[in-house]
Amino acid sequence: AQKVTQAQTEISVVEKEDVTLDCVYETRDTTYYLFWYKQPPSGELVFLIRRNSFDEQNEISGRYSWNFQKSTSSFNFTITASQVVDSAVYFCALKTSYDKVIFGPGTSLSVIP
């Protein structure tokens, strides 16, 4: 069975601090895809990144970076120099080739000015 765990329910940081959001997944499939989505208070899920199981290369996009480690089944997300606009709920999600997308429970991030 597939499962996504986001152990951090809520995180508060002061603006300009770095913050890492943890994601641990479970699957027996060898081919799978991992996603991060951001959900601001408006409710719309905003796509941030997709990573497939064969590509363990870390990725950086501006202040965002992602660390994918198959050995620990983790796909962590780091925001550098956080800003108030980063305040949102962040979801990690898993999809195997022919199965539905499984979302984690989400981590609520509050960035305090």
One residue of 74, 80, 96, 110 binding another protein per CB under 8 A = 96
* In the complex, minimum distance from the CB of residue 42 to another protein, in angstroms, rounded to a whole number: 7
- The verdict on 68 binding another protein (CB under 8 A) reads no
Q: 42-51 burial, b if ≥16 CB within 10 A, otherwise e?
A: eeeeeebbeb
- The verdict on 41 binding another protein (CB under 8 A) reads no
> Considering only CA atoms, which of 7, 10, 12 is closest in space to residue 84?
12
Complex with another protein: residue 65 or 96, whichever CB lies closer: 96
- The verdict on 46 binding another protein (CB under 8 A) reads yes
Residue 25's CB: how many other CB atoms inside 10 A? 21
Q: How far is C-alpha 87 from the geometric centre of its chain's CA atoms?
A: 14
Please give the residue ranges that form the binding site for another protein (CB under 8 A): 4, 31, 33, 35, 37, 42-47, 50, 52, 91, 93, 95-106
